[in-house]
Amino acid sequence: MAKEVKDKENAQNIASQISPWKMLWPISIGLAVVAYLLYDNFDVKAFDVVQFTWNSFFWLFVAILLMIFRDLGYVIRIRILTDNEFSWLQALRVIMLWEFTSAITPSAVGGTGLAVIYVNKEGISIGRSTAVVMATSFLDELYFIFMFPLLLLFINVEKLFMVSGIESYSSEFLVLAIVGYSVKFIYTAFISYGLFKNPRVIKKLLFNVFSIRFLKKWRYSATQAGNEIMDSSKELKKKPFSFG
């Protein structure tokens, strides 16, 4: 009980630090940089080769439609992960805030950290909120783990990694893709073991690794990540086998 109260207080403290004015800074900086780049590289003649036809508008409409379907899928997924405790409006609100946060924060950070707060604000305990957010991240990584090999299997590798203006493909890009895939695979395996098998070992490993002198300044964050994995594991293990 004391832990739940403390988690709730921590969530409220973090939420109180979120200011609309702080959000305006990265948005303003991003827009200013985009405006400068457009001004610096603007070439009217470049538009001479662009032809907007009904076919162009059709495919733009298809692209927008696919984005809507993607977000709708996110809404459905978060309702399932919360056992339909979220209404459609609540789920939509969380996803839109999550997408917005992902857009204004660096890609390495993403909106995952604040997503826990968004889910918690809709009435889900901080432990379950962490479990829901980590489950969504895990599913996203799992999708990539399965789809990348299929992509290489069904699409010509030379065409996939061909550089514009060069007839032959660059093997360096293929090597980088494989290295990136390997990192994702190891990370997903690591999270899977922590979520579904032995979260305590993962927490201990993180603590030991970040106890190294030059990594000590990140030890607190690593410990928090270990705690989140343990909380998520407890919540996910309560789910029936059919939930998977």
The stretch 182-206 carries a mean pLDDT of 82
Q: Calculate Rg over the CA atoms of the chain.
A: 22
pLDDT band at 192 (very low <50, low <70, confident <90, very high): confident
| pLDDT score of 93 | 92
- Does pLDDT of 163 surpass 70? no
Whether 132 contacts 122, CB under 8 Å: no
Per-residue CA distances from 128 to 112, 152, 230 (Å): 14, 37, 11
Backbone angles phi, psi at 192, to 5 degrees: -60, -45
108 burial via Cβ count (<10 Å: 0-12, 13-18, 19+)? exposed
| pLDDT score of 4 | 53
Model confidence pLDDT, tens digit, residues 91-127: 999 999 888 888 777 655 566 777 888 888 888 877 7
* Cα dihedral value 176, 182, 187, 188, nearest 10: 120
d(CA 166, CA 155): 19
d(CA 197, CA 194): 6
- Does pLDDT of 175 surpass 60? yes
Return the DSSP state at 239: S
Most confident of 29-38, 127-136, 155-164: 29-38
d(CA 236, CA 82): 11
| pLDDT score of 89 | 92
| pLDDT score of 140 | 85
Q: Higher-confidence residue: 73 or 211? A: 73
Model confidence pLDDT, tens digit, residues 212-237: 777 777 777 777 777 777 777 777 77
| pLDDT score of 157 | 74
Return the DSSP state at 118: H
For the whole model, what pTM was predicted? 0.67
- Does pLDDT of 6 surpass 70? no
Strands (DSSP E) contained in the chain are: none
Domain ranges of the chain: 1-12+19-32+52-124, 126-244
| pLDDT score of 92 | 93
| pLDDT score of 240 | 65
Model confidence pLDDT, tens digit, residues 35-60: 888 887 777 777 777 777 888 889 99
| pLDDT score of 244 | 57
pLDDT mean across residues, the chain: 78
